[in-house]
Amino acid sequence: MDVGGTLEARGGEGAAAEEGEVAGGGGKRALEERFERVRSAQSGAFTRQQANAHGISDRALATRCRSGRIQRIYRGVYADFTGPVPWETRVWAAWLAYGPDAALAGETALRKHGLKGEWAESPIRLEIPHSRRVRRQGGILLTRCRDLDRRLLGSREPPIVRLEVAVLTVASGRSKPEDAVALVLDACRQRRTTARRLVDELGQLRRLPRRDLLLGVLRDAGAGVESFLELVYLRKVERAHGLPAGKRQLRAERAGSPVYRDVEYEDFGVIVELDGRTGHEDARSRWRDMSRDNSALLESKQTLRFGYQLVNDPCTAAAQTATVLHLRGWPSSPTLCSPTCAITTIRGALPTRAEQ
């Protein structure tokens, strides 16, 4: 039954008629207070059934809609205010429209879990049991799931899939592989989960798109990689050119405060910092980076800093890193990543293993 549409077509009884539809007697105030607590817990959203259970009839709901005291959001679901509907209220309203066996999923779940990112405001994403057949509504994206109970996080209201499930399913649906990689690494970097937990969850998601890609990335994340740029450096610069294995996210002290270095070659006093677009653009971040580099210099360590040029030109970064390592005592030489590797044209004086 489309409650909102039916109620709003019934004509105007006025405030007096509305009050006559609310349970009378001494229990009226108690019902109103209890209903207020329900709405507050649900960010202002409520269902027709909840209203009826607290003594508010369909006629009273229609009157309140017409008078602008409440507004309809979905079929049979309302908000106890008018005007713009905040995201939290829309989340509750969407779940109330399909609950109680629906669960927050996808980007909606990631935002609810507190993972930082550029999440879409709409649609609200829900998973429902595969056996359910429901009428879809605008602004809500439904996914039918065969193992929903296994995917849920404990006993929550509204129910929500576990963070690991949300991260992997959203990452697998990204249009670009690099965006999928960035999401799983961000989740680990923000300390919301671990590479080990994500790998364990992948073990349950055998048919997940891009499963092999994500598994490889998570193995590198377990070794300390925390961003897409760090992954590019590890695979296309360090490994592809035979550089020594650096240590990742190595903790150091600066003025009594901890700092973490992206890559450090401890035996040679060389540090590599990788500056992606996020976290390195504002003045405060630039000052922090310079202070960290200066602190390393005071310890007689050389810092190399690379940005997104690594993606398209890893050979240049490899040549520069190999040169500094060589000057600092690295006894070996880089390898060519391919027959067209530019490392020899960049640093002709530095022999490669292919030339020796």
Q: Which residues, other chains included, contact 317 with Cβ-Cβ below 8 Å and sequence gap of 6+?
A: 233, 237, 304, 306, 309, 310
> What average pLDDT does this structure show over 59-75?
95
Domains of the chain from N-terminus onward: 3-79 (no CATH), 87-163 (no CATH), 166-221 (no CATH), 229-346 (3.40.960)
On the question of pLDDT at 146 being above 70, the answer is yes
As separate numbers, helices (DSSP H) first and strands (DSSP E) second, the chain gives 17, 10
Phi, psi (5° rounding) for residue 45?
A: -85, 150
DSSP summary character for residue 78: E
Q: Which residues, other chains included, contact 22 with Cβ-Cβ below 8 Å and sequence gap of 6+?
A: 28, 31, 32, 55, 56, 57, 60
Band the pLDDT of 286: cuts 50, 70, 90.
low
> What average pLDDT does this structure show over 110-122?
91
Q: Which residues, other chains included, contact 153 with Cβ-Cβ below 8 Å and sequence gap of 6+?
A: 159, 160, 161, 162, 163
CA 256 vs. chain centroid, Å, equals: 32
Q: Which residues, other chains included, contact 43 with Cβ-Cβ below 8 Å and sequence gap of 6+?
A: 86, 88, 89, 91, 92
pLDDT tens-digit profile of 148-166? 999 999 888 999 999 999 9
What is the pairing mode between strands 302-306 and 270-274?
A: parallel
Residue with tokens 């006025």: 14
Band the pLDDT of 28: cuts 50, 70, 90.
confident
Q: Which of 157-161, 190-194, 274-278, 301-305 has the lowest mean pLDDT?
A: 274-278
Report yes or no: 253 and 230 within 8 Å, Cβ to Cβ.
no
pLDDT tens-digit profile of 200-240? 999 999 999 999 999 999 999 988 898 889 999 999 999 99
DSSP summary character for residue 77: E
On the question of pLDDT at 277 being above 60, the answer is no
42/321 Cα distance (integer angstroms): 55
* Residue 174 CA: distances (Å) to CA of 15, 111, 139, 298, 311: 51, 16, 20, 43, 19
What pLDDT is stored for residue 17 in this prediction?
Answer: 43
pTM: 0.76
Band the pLDDT of 254: cuts 50, 70, 90.
low
Q: Which residues, other chains included, contact 340 with Cβ-Cβ below 8 Å and sequence gap of 6+?
A: none
